[in-house]
Structure 1
Amino acid sequence: MSDGVWIGGTDSLVEGEWQWVKTGVSINQQEFTHWWPGEPNSSGNLGEDCMDLLHHENYNWNDERCDRQANFLCEKQAATGQQIIG
């Protein structure tokens, strides 16, 4: 099992063009990215097409093979008037 947590990013459609799975919004064009230094690296083109969050590396992003078992984060819509913390 991976020690990362899946967070919903992928470059499975076009290598090197990262996007959020749910919305299709490009991650490459966003102002905020949080890749671990040297990532994404596709690790020798071994199909690292999914994004995980590395808790042991200051919660930075990493590209990882999609067939690795890992925990995942879920997205929940805030109720009207509810403050989002995080």
Structure 2
Amino acid sequence: MDLRFAIVALLVAPSMCLDCPVGWASYNGECFHFSKSTASWLDAQAACRQMGGYLATDDNKEKHDFLTNIASVIHSFGETVFWLGGDDYLFEGVWRWEETGGPVVSFTKWAPGYPTNSSDTNCLGMVFVDTELLWKDMTCGSSHHGKRQATTVRPTKHHKVTHAHRTHPPSPNHYYICEKQAFHSAPVIG
């Protein structure tokens, strides 16, 4: 009996699985959650912490390509911003990853003209520029900008009003990406 248990343990151990919670995507031993709601950078950071993670780092080309593929499927229309865990709060223009405190230097994807290094844009967001997902420094309190105003039109006997008129161009929605380590689980044997 003990011999059979040892053999099963040897066979199962190499096939241990790395898993992510439901609603998270797995990539290279890490789990990623793309939010379904908008938030400011600070609220996004708090939401990721509540889920046991942190705002994602975009620290190498392979991970960036993975994030781009998922982001393009999930938010394929309109201008969308994805918050990442980078900021320059401590020293203006010195970007660091929030989770590790390490500098943002080995891999960057800044959009042309960014970072602006303005004192009011201290948080890192990603936005599609054409088909490429690029970084921009942004105001941390942003979650949705812009104003929409309804036109004052009264329905008549022949015309029905069914929509509002947008007086300003559409503004980006600020979603966020959380990251955490995948956990090990044993496959079910049966």
Task: State whether residues 46 and 65 of structure 1, in contact with CA within 8 Å, keep that contact through their aligned partners in structure 2.
Answer: no
Alpha-carbon offset, residue 8 of structure 1: 0.7
One of 11, 18, 26 as aligned partner of 2:103 = 26
Name the aligned partner's letter for residue 54 of structure 1.
V
Task: Give the TM-score normalised by structure 2.
Answer: 0.37
- Equivalent residue for 1:40? 115
* Higher-Rg member (1/2): 2
- Equivalent residue for 1:78? 182
Can you list the C-alpha shifts for 1:14-70, whole angstroms capped at 9, x where unaligned? 00000001110001xx3211101110013xx35100000103451100000000012
Q: Counterparts of 2:129 and 2:111 in 1: how far apart (Å)? A: 11
- Equivalent residue for 2:124? 51
Name the aligned partner's letter for residue 40 of structure 1.
P
Alpha-carbon offset, residue 80 of structure 1: 4.1
Task: Give the TM-score normalised by structure 1.
Answer: 0.77
Name the aligned partner's letter for residue 71 of structure 1.
Y
Structure 1 stretches of 4+ with a deviation exceeding 2 A read: 78-81
| Residues 52-67 of structure 1 aligned to structure 2 (within 5 Å) | 52-57=125-130, 58-67=132-141
Q: Counterparts of 1:72 and 1:13 in 2: how far apart (Å)? A: 22
Q: Counterparts of 1:79 and 1:56 in 2: how far apart (Å)? A: 34
Where does the alignment leave 5 or more consecutive residues of structure 1 unmatched? 82-86
Alpha-carbon offset, residue 78 of structure 1: 2.2
Q: Which has the higher helix share?
A: 2
Alpha-carbon offset, residue 3 of structure 1: 2.8
- Where 1:9 maps in the other structure, the secondary structure is strand
Where does the alignment leave 5 or more consecutive residues of structure 2 unmatched? 1-37, 39-78, 144-173, 186-190
- Equivalent residue for 2:85? 8
Q: 1:7 to 1:34 in 2, by over 3 A?
A: same
Percentage of identical aligned residues:
34
